[in-house]
Amino acid sequence: MTTLMLRRLSPILGVLALLGAVVQPAAAASIDAVVNASNDDFTNNEITIALNPTNPLNIVSGWNDYNRNEGCGTARSLDGGQTWSAHSFIPGITPWDNDGNTYPGNGIYDFAGDPAVTFAPDGTAFFACYGYKYANASAPKGGVALFVSKSTDGGLTWGAPTKLATFTHPGMGKGVNKGSNGQFPDHDAIAADTWIGSPYYGSIYVAQAQFHGINKAPITLFATHDGVHWAPPVTVSSGSQYANQDAIPFVGPDGSVYVSFDSIQGPNGAAQVRVAKSTDGGASFGPSYTVAEMIDPVNSDLINSDYREGSYPAPGIDAAGRITIAWNDRRSGHSNMWYVRGLGSDLSTWTDPVQLKPSDGEQFFPWVHAAPGGRVDIVYYDRTRDPNDVLNYVTYSRLDPTDTGLGVTASSYGDWSPAFNGNLNGGQTTTSCTPFIGDYIGVASDDTHVYLGWTGNGPSVFHDEFGNPTDCDVNQDALTVAITP
């Protein structure tokens, strides 16, 4: 739930020749209407989305859900995102469901967040989520636990969660004490090995940053090869990496597990995009490699933004082992999207950074998914359309391969309406309803489908639970759109 530690409908852009490729227009994308997946009177943000490999019309989305308390909300669609099931909480973590009834075997955690969802190749959905418990007389140190839940009916119902780890944290309070001497895990992300022929086919991986006091944040990874038994966490980052965050696992066609993350090299070092690789199913990792420098990264200091935002890398890999990593930084004078490409077989060599969609407006919160055939799908917030550089729209960009190497042509589509002013909204993290829009949005795709999920404007009703009705007067919902690329 944090950023870098230091952290609708016509085409709007033609094509751009990238990496030496000849400019050539890609086929126009067909874009459906935007759908409200959560569709309630409470705030929902930090959207994750996944596509069932056994049924491309079955998608699952998740979010931070502020109904009753902050929990991990979720819903499923069986018609490619045209309609969604009634949303619910992941059971067994917090005490409440969305009707105000307790779940069987009540969850004991005060709130939950950082949703992350994926599908195994057999169509089983896995949902990762943290539970947070305040310090009290019986638990003076408070704590955080990392859970993973499973669904075998396409995300309609979820089983009791498996607790992967518990972390103590003195005075734990929604992340405000992350710099203390306690432990605080953050920004979990999840991936599945869906590659036929992989020796670890069907395995699930969860990565996170694990804060240990001031500036100490190793990247760790949990793995299961049977969907039931989880191995102890393995450290991904090395000791020389001073502050690490925003870990995302992804799996190559040979079963290699990669983790991308952002990092500071030493107390006065530069911010970097880095990636590490495991060839033994996540049991161990080799050294991490520098992918690119982040030049003037965003660290909750984006102009015209009262909410938290940052710079972080988002990866994808295709069936040829070609990796794309995108991020935002301000090397152009504005927070714009940049990307590099490389091969999983050689993490030491990367293309120079390429600007995805040059703009005088701010762009942030990228998420990437590479379809098996090589198309790379990227979603992000984009203020290009707003001359005042305040309103957030959503842009979908795609990279289409031009050859068997790393050459691509980029096309961008968007911006989705209505515009989203994150400064007005209460994803309330404090009693003053400090604006919060989450820390990420999502994309899931295969060769013929793309699904986007993001935080946007919902019904203008808010159930004020903090005594500040004028501060929390605009609702956030989980919005989705289906694209035929």
Q: What is the CATH number of the domain that holds 374?
A: 2.120.10.10
| 312 within domain boundaries | yes
DSSP-derived letter for residue 131 is E
| 92 within domain boundaries | yes
Q: Report helix, strand or coil for 405.
A: coil
Residues 6 or more apart from 121 whose CB is under 8 A from it?
Answer: 53, 54, 192, 193, 194, 196, 201, 202
| 188 within domain boundaries | yes
Which pLDDT belongs to residue 419?
Answer: 81
Could you tell me the mean pLDDT of each successive run of 10 residues in the chain, 485 residues long?
32 29 52 90 91 98 84 95 92 74 68 96 98 75 89 95 84 43 79 98 96 74 98 87 86 98 79 97 97 94 92 97 98 97 98 97 97 96 94 95 93 79 64 79 97 84 44 76 93
Q: How far apart are CA 366 and CA 307, in angstroms?
A: 16
Which pLDDT belongs to residue 12?
Answer: 27
Which pLDDT belongs to residue 457?
Answer: 80
State which amino acid sits at residue 169.
H
Give the up-direction half-sphere exposure of residue 313: CA atoms within 13 A in the CB hemisphere. 32
Which pLDDT belongs to residue 461?
Answer: 46
| 206 within domain boundaries | yes
Decide: 113 and 130 in contact? Cβ < 8 Å: yes
Q: Report helix, strand or coil for 422.
A: helix
DSSP labels for 286-325? ---EEEEE-SS--BS--TT--S--B---EEEE-TT-EEEE
Determine whether 304 is exposed, middle or buried from the number of CB atoms within 10 Å of its CB (0-12, 13-18, 19+).
Answer: middle
| 5 within domain boundaries | no
Q: How far apart are CA 443 and CA 425, in angstroms?
A: 23
Which pLDDT belongs to residue 27?
Answer: 64
| 72 within domain boundaries | yes
| 387 within domain boundaries | yes
pLDDT in tens, 425-466: 555 444 456 788 999 999 999 999 999 999 988 765 444 444
Which pLDDT belongs to residue 99?
Answer: 57
Q: Which domain holds residue 75?
A: 10-484
Which pLDDT belongs to residue 10?
Answer: 30
Which pLDDT belongs to residue 432?
Answer: 55
Residues 6 or more apart from 101 whose CB is under 8 A from it?
Answer: none
Which pLDDT belongs to residue 116?
Answer: 98
| 1 within domain boundaries | no
**Residues β-bridged to residue 408:** 18, 401
Which pLDDT belongs to residue 113?
Answer: 93
Number of domains in the chain: 1
Which pLDDT belongs to residue 476?
Answer: 87
